[in-house]
């Protein structure tokens, strides 16, 4: 009787202070946490067991050079997985160029970011007839997660160099989205259940906000399963999406999923920390020499981060020239193998010793490398060779399309740098390595809050001060860079699909009094005027503005009008530049003082008119719909 009363009062309390939407999202967060944890935990077990088995086979082989065989086989398998049921996503690089991404290949965080914002409401998408969650539902969910898991397992179990976190981020996003995807079979079954037919409609995410909350839950649960730090995992998910604008309402549900994954991991494996400091002494917080060492580590990590980003750009360009996926994957795998073999030969030729098979320092996820460094088992020579080889091997693995991530390799880079300088400054390795992890995450991944939380949760409060010091220094030295080119707020091109966009173009003074037909904008610039902001000055001097969609061809333009044009991004940008040059000439002198190429303003580039006609936009839209 007392229990029944307690349950009733609890329900009344929850119903009073937690609304229906919050109860639904909270329930979803728990379910997402459980399902994503199961998928990621199984993948983690497979990768670690498979890689250990690979190293054992190599140890038993007559020569370690046989590592080239599993690498080549793995590359061909990943190419087959990536090529089957191919799904393409898009991102824009720092130069504004649009690139296509195979959803299965490479760093999964790039793909997860693209999928996360696919359902976000944007006015430009209305032009394509795409709205809200329907955009995400047109893309695969569970099948994408399974293919990514398979590609990651093959990449890392056969000797690829990279981490698990980016892959599981995509797995988490896809699994979470798949749990709420409308499915005809489920709808039909619900209709037959009578009074329970509304259950699925209550569960399903029908708007982008709810879907994004579920996607963040999936990503944070996946990361928490790997690193054992739920708070850092939730902030990592939010920071990767929004950089330095954490969305608190969604963060709460991400924390719920991360906590669920964290507790399930501990139930399955026991309360074992991700990394063991092995009784290392606390950091010497009041020694100036220690902070000098931290500063040197920060600068070195920044140099490594810059080299990594530059290498990534160059190798992206190199591998993009390889026409077939199989050849690209095979070339990347062979380069990874050559780098690993060269590093092992260098270590042996110099008479250096390693705590285990030297290949572990170069290939795999890098966790064993971090453990060895924390225990002080790496000499300066070994650490330098391992750092150079791991940076190169990680680049060749991921840029060639290998399915792996950059979080643990990033931690590994910082660890190896700190291991080198710890011996130079004669300090305990862990006292530099732990703060260096923060510096590497800030310098390469640009997630400062997640970096500091990872240190607090993983190593304790005694490392807060040095980690904060290196975080601030790294933020200044690295100047807010990031390897994730699709991070939110990194661009704003108003594109409705890759290569085509909508832009507002101020009307130059020389166009005032002329109509759209006389200007022949479509013929001269290859863009289409789909609307305009018409500014009319009234008798009292007040300027009235209103939007005209699909304005008439005989509509006369007035001073201050703004045209809304649609077209290929490069055409729109060139039109903007030409009109700015015309306007500048009008301000500095007479309109006829403008360069001859701008007086008539025909659209052309340095080599002549664009080969694509204005109708290419229509064809691109049709092609996109068919895809």
User: According to the model, what pLDDT value does residue 591 have?
Assistant: 41
User: According to the model, what pLDDT value does residue 99 have?
Assistant: 64
Asked whether residue 589 carries a pLDDT value surpassing 50, the answer given is no
User: According to the model, what pLDDT value does residue 142 have?
Assistant: 92
3-state secondary structure 489-544: CCCCCCEEECCEEEEEEECCHHHCCCEHHHHCHHHHHCCEEEEEEEEEECCCCCEE
Contact yes or no for 429/374 (Cβ under 8 A): yes
- Of 4 and 564, the structure prediction assigns the larger pLDDT to 564
Contact yes or no for 43/168 (Cβ under 8 A): yes
d(CA 129, CA 135): 10
What are the DSSP calls for 458-470, one per residue?
Answer: HH-GGGHHHHHHH
User: According to the model, what pLDDT value does residue 351 have?
Assistant: 92
Nearest to 258 by CA among 20, 549, 13, 32: 32
Phi/psi-derived region of residue 484, left when phi > 0, alpha when psi is between -120 and 50, beta in every other case:
beta
At 398-407, the pLDDT tens digits run: 989 898 887 7
User: According to the model, what pLDDT value does residue 388 have?
Assistant: 95
Weakest mean pLDDT among 74-83, 416-425, 472-481:
472-481
Percent of the chain with pLDDT over 90: 26
Contact yes or no for 215/247 (Cβ under 8 A): no
When pLDDT is cut at 50, 70 and 90, the band that residue 98 belongs to is low
When pLDDT is cut at 50, 70 and 90, the band that residue 595 belongs to is very low
User: According to the model, what pLDDT value does residue 463 have?
Assistant: 87
**Range 528-542 average pLDDT:** 71
Q: At 259, phi and psi to the nearest 5?
A: -65, -40
Asked whether residue 454 carries a pLDDT value surpassing 60, the answer given is yes
What is the chain's mean pLDDT, rounded?
Answer: 78
User: According to the model, what pLDDT value does residue 239 have?
Assistant: 81
User: According to the model, what pLDDT value does residue 326 have?
Assistant: 92
**Range 516-540 average pLDDT:** 78
Nearest to 50 by CA among 77, 32, 82: 77
In Å, the largest CA–CA distance within the chain is 94
Dihedral, 90, 95, 96, 97 alpha carbons, nearest 10: -50
Residue that is written with structure tokens 């074992």 in the block: 272
- Of 545 and 569, the structure prediction assigns the larger pLDDT to 569
User: According to the model, what pLDDT value does residue 111 have?
Assistant: 84
d(CA 362, CA 187): 50
User: According to the model, what pLDDT value does residue 537 have?
Assistant: 64
Asked whether residue 371 carries a pLDDT value surpassing 60, the answer given is yes
């Amino acid at each position: 009787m007392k229990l029944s009363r307690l349950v009733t009062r609890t329900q009344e309390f929850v119903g009073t202070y937690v609304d229906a939407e919050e109860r639904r999202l909270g329930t979803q967060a728990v379910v997402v946490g459980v399902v994503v944890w199961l998928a990621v935990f199984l993948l983690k077990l497979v990768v670690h067991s498979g890689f250990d088995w690979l190293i054992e086979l190599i140890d038993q082989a007559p020569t370690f050079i046989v590592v080239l065989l599993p690498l080549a086989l793995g590359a061909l398998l990943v190419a087959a997985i990536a090529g089957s049921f191919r799904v393409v996503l898009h991102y824009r690089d720092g130069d504004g160029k649009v690139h296509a991404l195979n959803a299965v290949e490479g760093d999964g965080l790039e793909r997860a970011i693209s999928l996360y914002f696919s359902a976000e409401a944007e006015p430009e998408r209305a032009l394509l007839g795409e709205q809200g969650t329907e955009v995400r539902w047109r893309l695969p969910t569970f099948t994408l997660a399974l293919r990514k898991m398979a590609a990651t397992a093959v990449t890392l179990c056969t000797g690829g160099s990279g981490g698990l976190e980016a892959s599981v981020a995509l797995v988490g996003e896809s699994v979470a989205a798949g749990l709420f995807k409308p499915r005809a079979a489920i709808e039909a079954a619900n209709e037959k259940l009578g009074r329970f037919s509304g259950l699925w409609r209550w569960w399903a995410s029908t708007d982008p906000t709810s879907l994004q909350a579920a996607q963040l839950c999936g990503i944070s649960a996946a990361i928490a399963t790997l690193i054992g730090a739920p708070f850092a995992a939730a902030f990592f998910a939010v920071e990767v999406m929004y950089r330095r604008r954490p969305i608190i309402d969604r963060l709460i549900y991400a924390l719920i999923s991360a906590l669920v994954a964290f507790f399930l991991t501990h139930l399955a494996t026991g309360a074992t920390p991700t990394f063991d400091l092995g009784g290392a002494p606390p950091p010497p917080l009041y020694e100036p020499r220690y902070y000098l060492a931290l500063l040197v580590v920060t600068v070195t990590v920044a140099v490594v981060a810059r080299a990594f980003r530059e290498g990534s750009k160059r190798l992206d360009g190199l591998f993009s020239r390889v026409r077939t996926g199989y050849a690209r994957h095979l070339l990347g795998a062979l380069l990874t193998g050559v780098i690993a073999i060269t590093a092992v030969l260098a270590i042996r030729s110099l008479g250096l010793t390693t705590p285990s098979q030297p290949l572990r320092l170069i290939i795999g996820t890098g966790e064993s490398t971090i453990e060895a460094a924390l225990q002080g088992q790496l000499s300066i020579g070994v650490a330098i060779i391992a750092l150079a080889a791991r940076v190169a091997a990680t680049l060749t693995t991921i840029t060639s399309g290998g399915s792996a991530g950059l979080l643990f390799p990033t931690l590994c880079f910082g660890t190896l740098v700190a291991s080198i300088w710890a011996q130079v400054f004669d300090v305990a390795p862990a006292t530099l390595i732990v703060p260096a992890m923060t510096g590497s995450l800030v310098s390469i991944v640009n997630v400062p809050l997640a970096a500091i939380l990872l240190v607090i949760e993983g190593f304790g409060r005694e490392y807060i001060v040095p980690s904060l010091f290196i975080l601030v220094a790294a933020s200044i030295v690295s100047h807010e860079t990031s390897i994730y080119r699709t991070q939110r707020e990194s661009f704003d091109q108003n594109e409705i699909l890759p290569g085509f966009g909508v832009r507002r173009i101020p009307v130059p003074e020389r166009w005032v009094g002329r109509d759209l037909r006389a200007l022949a904008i479509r013929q001269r610039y290859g863009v289409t005027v789909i609307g305009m902001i018409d500014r009319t000055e009234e008798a009292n001097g007040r300027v009235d503005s209103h939007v005209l969609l699909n304005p008439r061809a005989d509509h006369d333009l007035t001073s201050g009008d703004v045209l809304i044009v649609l077209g290929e991004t490069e055409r729109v940008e060139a039109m903007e530049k030409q009109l700015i040059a015309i306007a500048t000439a009008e301000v500095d002198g007479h309109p006829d003082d403008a360069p001859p190429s701008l007086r008539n303003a025909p659209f052309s580039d340095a080599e002549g008119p664009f080969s694509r006609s204005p109708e290419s936009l229509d064809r691109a839209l049709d092609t996109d719909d068919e895809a």
